[in-house]
């Protein structure tokens, strides 16, 4: 199917099987998949829906696994980059390898709330900051319009008040 360059892994992967849902950032459509293994840095899952390498993908863990291996913390949400997508055997199933960009314990499903105005944000319009701060387009634009030092202070204030 699709194949990116061979990228060496920095962390061991551990077998953890659990259902997940994922979405491409440019759409609000959700797709089902099954996670097969995970590491601090990435994840492997299988699905029927192709995703091109180097595209971003949002992933939600549907059920938290009862047991983790190797001290891996399982988060509710991951924003990841697809590294490769290959057909599994002769089936219609695709194996997807991703590298995590962001992760969060604070998202229980594919619904986001702006960290400033608290409006619900459609999946395709979420702007991420760090691992747990989400902005709608309007609030993101207001922050982007701030000068460098003021922008840093606003982001530091928001980060300290998200919890």
Nearest C-alpha neighbor of 61 from the set 81, 38, 84: 38
Tens digit of each residue's pLDDT (9 = 90 or more) over 116-141 = 888 888 887 888 887 678 889 999 99
Residue 17 pLDDT exceeds 70? yes
- Domain coordinates in residue numbering, the chain: 14-104, 112-161
Name residue, tokens 């701060």: 133
Distance of alpha carbon 135 from alpha carbon 28, whole angstroms = 16
Tens digit of each residue's pLDDT (9 = 90 or more) over 61-105 = 877 765 566 677 888 889 899 999 999 988 899 999 999 988 877
CATH homologous superfamily of 14-104 equals predicted glycosyltransferase like domains (2.40.10.220)
* Residue 130 DSSP code: T
Q: Quote the pTM value.
A: 0.73
Determine the pLDDT at residue 102. Answer: 84
Determine the pLDDT at residue 46. Answer: 97
Say what percent of the chain tops pLDDT 70: 84
Q: Coil, helix or strand for 123?
A: helix
Q: Which has more pLDDT, 18 or 11?
A: 18
Give me the chain's average pLDDT, please.
Answer: 83
Contact 52, 2 (CB under 8 A): yes
Determine the pLDDT at residue 5. Answer: 46
């Amino acid at each position: 199917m699709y194949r990116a360059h061979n990228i060496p892994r920095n962390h061991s992967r551990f077998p953890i099987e659990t259902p997940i849902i994922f979405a491409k950032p440019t759409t609000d459509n959700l797709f089902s998949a099954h996670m097969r293994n995970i590491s601090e840095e990435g994840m492997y899952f299988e699905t029927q829906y192709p995703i091109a390498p180097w595209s971003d993908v949002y992933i939600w863990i549907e059920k938290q696994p009862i047991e983790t291996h190797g001290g891996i913390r399982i988060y509710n949400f991951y924003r990841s980059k697809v590294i490769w997508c290959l057909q599994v055997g002769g089936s219609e199933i695709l194996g997807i390898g991703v590298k995590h960009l962001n992760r969060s314990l604070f998202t229980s499903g594919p619904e986001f709330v702006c960290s400033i105005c608290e409006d619900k944000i459609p999946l395709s319009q979420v702007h991420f900051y760090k691992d747990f701060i989400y902005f709608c387009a309007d609030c993101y634009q207001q922050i982007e319009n701030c000068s460098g030092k003021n922008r840093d202070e606003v982001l530091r204030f928001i980060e300290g008040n998200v919890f």
